[in-house]
Amino acid sequence: MTDALARLLAIVPAPDEPHTKSWDEVERTIGATLPCDYKELVRVYGGGHWDDYLYVLEPGCPNDDYDLAAWARNQTEDLEGLWEFEKKPVELEAEGARVIPWAVTDNGECLYWLVLPGVPPERWTVMVNEARGGRWEHFPVSCTRFLAAALEGELRSGVISSSFPLATHTFRRLRAG
């Protein structure tokens, strides 16, 4: 278990039933091996709604609106179209650089992994994009470390709502919707 997942478990206990996933198909669909800390997060918590604001995407999510593979496909298409007219964030200017979404917010912000050529998934970092805007932030941490640090107030984003996190933390597993 990663330190970040242990921190999350101390913040919000996990639901009783673990989630088992077959990662091969989703990784083929996305075209990348996903980070182990994310797989562990999904195994322990599943896709979920944290502090009534942040949704962690899940492959094959019971609620189709939060399916990781669908978000990855749609965001890739949307961003390619956007970058025909707007400048890419500097972190994405390297040949072969891309982003893969792993979480979204109630306001429409999207949290991504920054995927760089030659960088293994365990070293992917987090990029946050504001809803309906061109502002991006980069955080040099894993997705689970980002989530734990944000919930504990150690990490602050200028893009994510200032009402996140809540004083009393909540987690709800995503259900069919």
**pLDDT, tens only, 10-36:** 999 988 776 777 899 999 999 999 999
Name the nearest CA neighbour of 36 among 79, 59, 80, 2. Answer: 2
- Is 0.75 surpassed by the pTM of this model? yes
CA distance 3 to 140: 16
CATH 2.30.30.60 given to domain 3-159 = no
Per domain, the residue ranges of the chain are 3-159
Q: Which residues of the chain have pLDDT under 70?
A: 18, 176-177
Q: CB–CB of 37/141 below 8 Å? A: no
CA distance 6 to 9: 5
**pLDDT computed for residue 177 by the predictor:** 61
Instruction: Give the 3-state secondary structure of residue 148.
Output: helix
